[in-house]
Structure 1
Amino acid sequence: MYNRIIEQFIAAQKAAHAAYAAAAAFERETVAAVPDHYLSVDLRSEYRTERELQSFCRSVAGGVVNRARREFAPAGARLDIDNQDEYERAGLDIGEALKAGKIPDLDGLWTSMARRYGGHGGAELAYQQAAQRIVSGFGLNRKREVQRTASVVVLRKHAISEACYGRSARKVGYYSCQSTADCLSGLATFAAKAGHHMLAGGLNRVNVHQVEYNYREKHSYPGLDIVFFKEAWEFRFSHQVADDLMLFLGEYGEAFMQEAV
Structure 2
Amino acid sequence: MSASSALQAACAAYRSAASFERESLEGVPGHSHAAEIRSEYRTARELERFCSSLAANVVNRARREFAPAGTRLDIDDTKEHERAGLDIREALRTGNIPDIDRLWSSLQRHYGGDSGRDLAYQQAAQRIIRGFWLNRRSVVQRTASAVVLRLRVTSEGCFGRSTRKVSYYSYQNAAECLEGLAAFAGKAGQPALASGLLRINVHNIEYSYRDKQHHPGLDIVFFKDAWEFKFSHQVADDLMLFVGEYGAAFMQETD
Bin of the TM-score, shorter chain as denominator length: over 0.9
Say whether 1:9 aligns with 2:7: yes
Write the deviation string for residues 104-163 of structure 1: whole angstroms up to 9, x where unpaired.
010000000011111111111110110000000000038442101111101111111111
Gaps spanning 5+ residues in structure 2: where? none
Gaps spanning 5+ residues in structure 1: where? none
What residue in structure 1 maps to residue 133 of structure 2? 139
What residue in structure 1 maps to residue 71 of structure 2? 77
Say whether 1:153 aligns with 2:147: yes
Say whether 1:214 aligns with 2:208: yes
Q: Is the 8 A contact 1:190 1:245 kept in 2?
A: yes
State which drifts further: 166-175 or 178-187: 166-175
State which drifts further: 13-22 or 52-61: 13-22
Q: Name the aligned partner's letter for residue 66 of structure 2.
A: F
Write the deviation string for residues 25-68 of structure 1: whole angstroms up to 9, x where unpaired.
233xxx3xx39868735411111111111111111111111111
State the secondary structure of the residue aligned to 1:135.
Answer: helix
State the secondary structure of the residue aligned to 1:259.
Answer: helix
| 1:24 shift after superposition | 2.2
Q: Name the aligned partner's letter for residue 43 of structure 1.
A: I
Partners of 1:13 and 1:141 lie apart in 2 by 57
Say whether 1:189 aligns with 2:183: yes
**Alpha-carbon distance change, 107 to 153 in structure 1, aligned in 2, over 3 angstroms:** same
CA RMSD of aligned residues (A): 1.8
State the secondary structure of the residue aligned to 2:162.
Answer: coil
Say whether 1:172 aligns with 2:166: yes
Q: Name the aligned partner's letter for residue 182 of structure 1.
A: E
Q: Is the 8 A contact 1:87 1:93 kept in 2?
A: yes
Which of 54, 67, 76 is 2:48 aligned to? 54
**TM-score, structure 2 normalization:** 0.94
State the secondary structure of the residue aligned to 2:165.
Answer: strand
Partners of 2:90 and 2:31 lie apart in 1 by 38
Q: Name the aligned partner's letter for residue 216 of structure 1.
A: R
Report how many aligned residue pairs link the two structures: 254
Which of 10, 17, 23 is 1:25 aligned to? 23
Q: Name the aligned partner's letter for residue 96 of structure 2.
A: K
